[in-house]
Structure 1
């Protein structure tokens, strides 16, 4: 029986990876396909019930996902959009909590106002994983992506604090909104302090380890350490993780090249697995949620679910448009004549409100009983409305999000062109600096080095100098002919494949050992990775 249970536990991540791989191959949004797959699997006869452990989700899944997102985010871009991000991650979460709370209490009189506010806090924070993956794939302008990423990094702290206050009030602990505001400010400040202490300390440690494997092991433990340290101090573990991730990501360029290569590959794999499992688990939650609602007719439940979903969507539109318009009129960038978020960008941000696993984890964290020992009011109903809201946002908004971006014509084509031009200029300046440094080194050499070595070094610098300029033409020259760097990459890849085949054949013939094979293949792989980057 224990072996069967273990097999089912293995089946969840394995199924998630297979579904995610198939959706990526088909060009579909993996989070949406995973949710639908989980929903269908949950009704297959013989499949056991998988209930989310909220503490496990908030500790095991949330910290690494937030840390990786913060690590990859641009601190500079986030700082330039502080006002927009703050209005969404704090202001919009508060507005949505209040709007959903009053709407739920009006629709369902049996649901006390404090419990309704708990529901509002649960469904208030969007999970930008699905939205950002689509936005990046379709080339959404960088500023919009930055705002969505920044919102998802910080809104969980606001929502979880509001949730705890509302649950305490509903359970009879006597908390007020003023208590909640005080608690949020203190927890946020302490969480930020924890992140600012751990970030520099761990960066100092990483730069002195001189071992890529150990350095990345420290990075792996960082989000869990930051979260636990902050929670032990009654601070916001979410903010501690985000701040430490932003700091370490901003300073990652000071690490060794091999450390960055290993870390980049590891986090891509880890986040792919975690996100796949999380979204499959969302779909698997429906049976336990439905079990406790037999006393309510389905027509009534469907009406309540549709109404709460409508309030969640409407609240985001009602908040985004006025606040974005005010920011465009009052921000320093607008006064300098720089382009802000226009109405099309506001529509995209308003529609990018998909909810995710944090909402479900918070809902399952509602206690079964309050302070008096009585059952928590409306717990099963809150679980159901949370699930339907998460599912509706992922399916309705998620499935239509790519079409909306295409219809509005919101794309960063000009931005990508500008990036390529800027990169070409930077590559040109860097190559000139490298050539000057080469001349200085040659002048200091006691004996002239071999001329073929010098010529090869100059060719490499000039090749890098030309590569970005040629990419402006899409890899082709006049009349569709390949430019030199494109031809170089194509031919060099074929040469590397031939070299790799020879090494493998020599290993199979026992003329070289596996250790030798692995070493030379690693060198070939690094060169091919550099070519693929081009």
Structure 2
């Protein structure tokens, strides 16, 4: 049994690596291909049942590392600038979707109670942050749209989980839902999670400062999301919010002297994210088999009801994004989205459900104090149907839709964002170098060598590679002129400090800052 599970995990990891290449060639998001692969494998006759997921382990195993990886790509400044969008999408839209789905379920599903219908709404309401990042992140669309989708996905699970847990508890114990109680629980849970995330981030910084090995510090970042998620859940706070806060806090506390750490951790987390995402989406496809088995002969009727709920979920999001477009198009904020009807269509289509929906559906209890959980099998079928429709459909068609509507990444805009940060970094470096040239009595040849090196800084920050001859010359100068190397190191430190400061400012794209910072880090490590 254990060997079979191990073989499955290894096989899914290998499949993820292969499908990344296949997805690039076909221009399709590879996570959607992983789900299809999982479904195909699950349909193989005679496959043992050892591959069923324990619902209680789905979120704690997969959500913390993937949330942490996604949250590292954004910043506190971006959240402060977009708090209205986050509130409208991650709270208000989730609440409206829960209400619409609950009303639909009450009208369609025989024997369902109000609290069970609300639980269904909470299962299917939040677009999954992992699914949105995995699918939309691989499609060339404007950074404005992607950053809004990322912000929505990082916080909407917190809203849905509070509603789901309260609704399930009321169903099991025969109680009633209280709107003020739900709001109070959400606010208290979110506040506790924020405090916990800040405490864990500070503790992690304290530990990292005393670990001399870069590999050890990278390993700490892998353990941290699991630790803070589990601690938050034990304290009945939001594990999702706690993980996001700890990632944002650590990223904002990054210093100019951590160039090597940033390079190691970026590569480390790219690998972790790829493998964990592959296993998670593959297991989603595999686990759909038990849903079909549990439905039995009533599956066609359940699927008909599920089709109506899917239409409601998609329709509510489309109407909401249309309203957002009518408001945002008059906004003076150039970074707001959606600004056009085409962008509203793309954002409506990016409401992918994923791990959270599956985990909550399978976590429904089988019994209550009064007997069986109302319409449990049908609720699971409906939830998984919404997952498949909103994930596979957009996953396979989003690249085509983006190209057809002409809502593609504006290369000139992205280049301008990077260029502005590059110019700030270059100015900071040259200012520091000029100041230190006056402080040190450098020989003329050392000054000339410094200016020769720094002349290429702007090109390096834009991504132009250095030639092998240039690297040899840089290394020879480094060995022969230690003072010159010291001045250049200080200049590059000033450039990194300026980029980190820019990353924390409202209106600055964190992704653009990270690209410039990575080139500076690589340059620093190369010359060190």
Please say whether Structure 1 and Structure 2 have the same fold, judged by a TM-score greater than 0.5: yes
> Is 1:403–2:400 an aligned residue pair?
yes
Contact 1:207 1:255 in 2 (8 A): no
Partners of 1:494 and 1:133 in 2: how far apart?
Answer: 40
Partners of 2:93 and 2:303 in 1: how far apart?
Answer: 26
Partners of 1:338 and 1:270 in 2: how far apart?
Answer: 30
Q: Tell me the equivalent position of 2:190.
A: 188
Partners of 2:85 and 2:147 in 1: how far apart?
Answer: 10
The TM-score with structure 1 as length reference comes to 0.82
Task: State which of 427, 430, 437 in structure 2 corresponds to 1:429.
Answer: 427
Q: Tell me the equivalent position of 2:72.
A: 71
Contact 1:130 1:398 in 2 (8 A): no
Structure 1 residue 32, shift from structure 2 partner: 0.8
Q: What SS does the corresponding residue of 1:39 show, helix, strand or coil?
A: helix
Equivalent runs, 1:333-372 vs 2, <5 Å: 333=332, 341-342=338-339, 343-372=341-370
Q: Tell me the equivalent position of 1:89.
A: 90
Task: State which of 409, 413, 416 in structure 2 corresponds to 1:415.
Answer: 413
Partners of 1:192 and 1:111 in 2: how far apart?
Answer: 36
Q: Tell me the equivalent position of 1:60.
A: 61
Q: Deviations over 1:155-175 (max 9, x none)?
A: 111111111111112223414
Partners of 1:468 and 1:401 in 2: how far apart?
Answer: 32
Structure 1 residue 25, shift from structure 2 partner: 5.0
Q: Tell me the equivalent position of 2:267.
A: 265
Corresponding pairs, count:
478
Task: State which of 457, 474, 482 in structure 2 corresponds to 1:464.
Answer: 457
Structure 1 residue 440, shift from structure 2 partner: 3.0
Measured on the aligned residues, the alpha-carbon RMSD in Å equals 3.0
Gap change, CA 1:140 and 1:213, over 3 Å in 2: same
Task: State which of 436, 439, 442 in structure 1 corresponds to 2:437.
Answer: 439
Contact 2:115 2:177 in 1 (8 A): no
Equivalent runs, 1:59-208 vs 2, <5 Å: 59-133=60-134, 135-178=136-179, 179-208=181-210
Q: What SS does the corresponding residue of 1:166 show, helix, strand or coil?
A: helix
Partners of 1:315 and 1:223 in 2: how far apart?
Answer: 33
Q: Tell me the equivalent position of 2:242.
A: 240
Gap change, CA 1:221 and 1:132, over 3 Å in 2: closer
Q: Tell me the equivalent position of 1:228.
A: 230
Structure 1 residue 43, shift from structure 2 partner: 0.8
Structure 1 residue 64, shift from structure 2 partner: 1.1
Q: Deviations over 1:54-90 (max 9, x none)?
A: 2211111111111111122122222211101111111
The TM-score with structure 2 as length reference comes to 0.82
Q: Deviations over 1:175-227 (max 9, x none)?
A: 41322222112111111111122223323443454432232222222111211
Structure 1 residue 131, shift from structure 2 partner: 3.9
Structure 1 residue 136, shift from structure 2 partner: 4.4
Q: Tell me the equivalent position of 1:521.
A: none
Gap change, CA 1:423 and 1:489, over 3 Å in 2: farther
Q: Tell me the equivalent position of 1:379.
A: 376
Q: Which has the larger radius of gyration?
A: 1
In structure 2, the gaps of 5 or more residues are 474-518
Partners of 1:228 and 1:393 in 2: how far apart?
Answer: 29
Q: Deviations over 1:438-472 (max 9, x none)?
A: 513532x6xx49x3x55433222111134457x7x
Gap change, CA 1:457 and 1:15, over 3 Å in 2: same
Gap change, CA 1:159 and 1:267, over 3 Å in 2: same
Partners of 1:150 and 1:230 in 2: how far apart?
Answer: 20
Q: Tell me the equivalent position of 2:292.
A: 290
